[in-house]
Chain A
Amino acid sequence: MNELVIDARKTILLIEDNPDDVELTLRALRKTGIDNEVIVVRDGEAALDLLCGSRASADATRLVPELILLDLNLPRIEGPEVLRRIRESASTRYVPVVVLTSSTEDSDLRRAYELGANSYIQKPVDFSKFLEAARALSLYWLALNVVPRGGMPQLDPGTPPDGHEALPE
């Protein structure tokens, strides 16, 4: 059985404007056992600066996190727009983005998926529910791929069904 270990080297970028939500999200991550570095940006524009380096700065200052938590409801540049630009930029195109939203409207979630979100957490009023969602999220996106003790299992493809060829060795 694989043990799911959190890769503590992975950096998380949290883009969230509400200070209470920032603190509660950080708390939820900590309680889930995530001690990763979390960079918090309160503004979509600042986030894009950091990620895509819109200022004339060297590539070295660009941040490429391993996971982005993005609040859909941001001031100035809206969440969906930030998502769109993250997906446009070559350096951040494949970074997993989990969208945080208090909206329960299907249209918002659909739009988030269309723009390239990998997953979403609907921010519930109940903190313990939020904790559960954060736990599931972290196990999925931050897990360290660990080879199980005893090496990789040998797979026996078995006899192919009629009409099918056997798989190559």
Chain B
Amino acid sequence: MSVSASSPRDALTSLVDELHATLGRLALALGLARDAFVWTDRHGSIVWCNAAFDRLVRADHVALLGEPLADRLVLERKGRAVTGGAHPARRLLAEVDALTETYEMTAAGRPSVVELVGCRGVIDDEPASVIVIEDITERARVQTELQALNAQLEATNNELEAFSYSVSHDLRTPLRAIDGFSQALVEDYADLLDDRGKKYLERLRIAAQNMGRLIEDMLRLSRVTRAEFAWTDVDLSALAGEIASEVAASAPNQDVELAIADDLAVRGDRSMLRQVLWNLIDNAWKFTSKTPHARIEIGARADGEGSVFFVRDNGAGFDMGRADKLFGAFQRLHTAEEFPGIGIGLAIARRIVHRHGGRIWAEGEPGKGATFSFTIPRTASGLGPSAATRSTGGHTRQAATP
């Protein structure tokens, strides 16, 4: 504000004009605001309120001025009316300096849930209060729904856990009997069995053991869904290096040229990502088992919002036309000849990548090699661990974790 070398009168006029302008701006903004604003004096009588407040309590603006706020703002908690000294308008002047509280009320004629944020102050040397009221009916409804869904999810999860456990145990028990007693037959009745008989029993054992492996796979897959997510920084380069050493150690006759990019980093669940990398790197080793000058490359390239991580090999490759079967959980038996030893690893990898909110895909060419790629979004897209919500009624609730 500039004060020119003019009379005090001019200065005063200037000041008043400025105040008018400021008030005008404020009035405009408050008139537009969706939240209801109300000011009271030391007695709790309404000194001023905005249009949203008028609508909230369905009253004429002029009629409200001077009225006790506690009488005009009718609030309830769990169906019981909040009256007398318990009313926030009274408490704000008598007991507390500030409050953030949730109430039920009939707002603009509709049953609603509102959040009151109020504070006490001093205006013109006089105690005063201001309360801002936000309609959070929608938010409260979503919250309740979310809690119900969460409870449902937890119940389902628990059921699934119990089911997997008993399935595993109850299915495996008779398989043990089939395998064990077939072996007993071969051993104890060898003289009564010809070669064909012994072969049949051998096939019984193989079938039982195959089923045992299938059950094992099913359990591993279900464990991925059930497992708790632990969000942390993961050094993928180091992890890939560790895994490559392990895999290489289990295939000592294979000579593989390995290239791992530095600075591969991501945020996610370390043990789950380890499984993904393990499955991809182990597969790459298998795909190159018959390749001279085998080369496996682990790296990343930038793409849109994040990085695309890949494991590339120059091995046997695969026919892209059959690629859709690669990630299928139980397609394994059909593709055993084409992709021997691949098993359920890719289905598990896919489920983990999806839990991180990412995508996984494969490209390959017979005889040329294959590239398995996956993305892990940088931001928690809500598919990962819980995202906190704002407080309502003094409590903080967690959003559902799928």
Contacts and interface: CB of A to CB of B under 8 A. Distances in A.
B180 interface: yes
B219 A24 contact: no
B81 interface: no
A125 interface: yes
A163 B281 CA distance: 49
| Central interface residue in A27, A125, A128, by most chain B CB within 10 Å | A125
B397 interface: no
Interface string B346-367: 0000000000000000000000
Interface string B143-178: 000000000000000000000010011001111110
Contacts of B165: 103, 105
Q: Is the interface of B mostly helix, strand, loop or mixed?
A: helix
Nearest to B183: A127
Interface residues of B, number: 21
B183 A125 contact: no
B209 interface: yes
A102 B172 contact: yes
A148 to B, nearest CB: 34
A102 B183 contact: no
Contact of B168 (A24, A102, A128): A102
B209 A125 contact: yes
Given A20-B180, A104-B216, A125 B175 contact: yes
B297 interface: no
A121 B90 CA distance: 70
Q: Is the interface of A mostly helix, strand, loop or mixed?
A: loop
Contact of A18 (B173, B205, B211, B212): B173
B220 to A, nearest CB: 9
A24 B216 contact: no
| Central interface residue in B176, B183, B205, by most chain A CB within 10 Å | B176
A130 B180 contact: yes
A9 B127 CA distance: 93
B173 A124 contact: no
Contacts of B212: 124-126
Interface in A94-117: 102-105
B27 interface: no
Contacts of A78: none
A125 B208 contact: yes
B184 interface: yes
Given A127-B183, A128-B183, A24 B177 contact: yes
Contacts of B208: 125
B134 interface: no
B179 interface: yes
Given A27-B184, A103-B168, A126-B212, A21 B179 contact: no
Interface in A4-55: 18, 20-21, 24, 27
B346 to A, nearest CB: 21
Contact of A20 (B177, B205, B219): B177
A102 B169 contact: yes
A116 B183 CA distance: 34
A18 B180 CA distance: 14
Nearest to A20: B177
A58 B157 CA distance: 49
B255 to A, nearest CB: 32
A118 interface: no
| Central interface residue in B183, B208, B219, by most chain A CB within 10 Å | B183
Contacts of B184: 27
A73 interface: yes
A73 B169 contact: yes
Nearest to B210: A125
A84 interface: no
Contacts of A21: 173, 176-177
Contacts of A85: none
Given A125-B175, A126-B209, 5 more contacts: A18-B173, A20-B174, A103-B168, A123-B172, A126-B205
Interface of B: 165, 168-169, 172-177, 179-181, 183-184, 205, 208-209, 211-212, 216, 219
Sorted from nearest, which 4 A-B pairs have the closest CB atoms?
A125-B212, A20-B177, A127-B180, A24-B180
25 contacts: A20-B180, A21-B173, A21-B177, A24-B177, A24-B180, A24-B181, A27-B180, A27-B184, A73-B169, A102-B172, A102-B176, A103-B165, A104-B168, A104-B216, A104-B219, A123-B176, A124-B176, A125-B209, A125-B211, A125-B212, A126-B209, A126-B212, A127-B180, A127-B183, A127-B205
